[in-house]
């Protein structure tokens, strides 16, 4: 148990569906992240929220829409996805202490998404 819980663990959706991934962290951290993990590719940062404010959006297509209602919860809303969006979506959290101190990333177990 890393203290970061993701649901659902598996999701199959058609290209016209709308679904959401949920992440909850029980660690009291002040930053949360969405990463995409595809086979034989590096982990790709999608979104970062620090103190509930989005600070990074790595040019992710608008069919992915994040939401961070509070410091413990993070959502990824999905609509009109493409088959190439099939991947493992990982949520992570960290405590960012200050300018020179990177916090350890704590990852959830991921949501395996298949787009048909």
Q: How far is the CB of 72 from another protein (least distance, A)?
A: 17
Which C-beta is closer to another protein: that of 16 or that of 99?
A: 99
If the CB atoms of residues 67 and 109 are measured against another protein, the closer one turns out to be: 109
Choice between 66 and 108, CB closer to another protein: 108
Shortest Å distance, C-beta 25 to another protein: 12
Sequence-ordered list of residues with C-beta below 8 angstroms from that of 8, at least 6 positions apart, any chain: 21, 111
3-state secondary structure the chain: CCCEEEECCEEEECCCCEEEEEEEECCCCCEEEEEEECCCCCCEEEEEEECCEEEEECCCCCCEEEEEEECCEEEEEEECCCHHHCEEEEEEEECCCECCECCCCEECCCEEEEEC
Between residues 43 and 60, which has the closer beta carbon with respect to another protein? 43
User: Which spans of this chain sit near another protein (rule: CB under 8 A)?
Assistant: 2, 4, 31, 33, 40-43, 45, 48, 50, 55-56, 90, 92, 94, 96, 99-110
CB of 89 to another protein, least distance (A): 11
């Amino acid at each position: 148990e890393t203290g970061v819980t993701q649901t659902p663990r598996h999701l199959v959706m058609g290209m016209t569906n709308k679904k959401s991934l949920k992440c909850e962290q029980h660690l009291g951290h002040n930053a949360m992240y969405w990463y995409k993990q595809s086979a034989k590719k590096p982990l790709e940062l999608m979104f970062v929220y620090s103190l509930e404010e989005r600070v990074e959006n790595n040019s992710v297509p608008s069919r992915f829409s994040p939401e961070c209602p509070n410091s413990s919860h993070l959502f990824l809303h999905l609509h009109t996805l493409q088959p190439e969006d099939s991947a493992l979506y990982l949520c992570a959290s960290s405590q960012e202490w200050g300018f020179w101190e990177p916090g350890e990333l704590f990852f959830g177990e991921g949501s395996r998404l298949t787009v048909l």
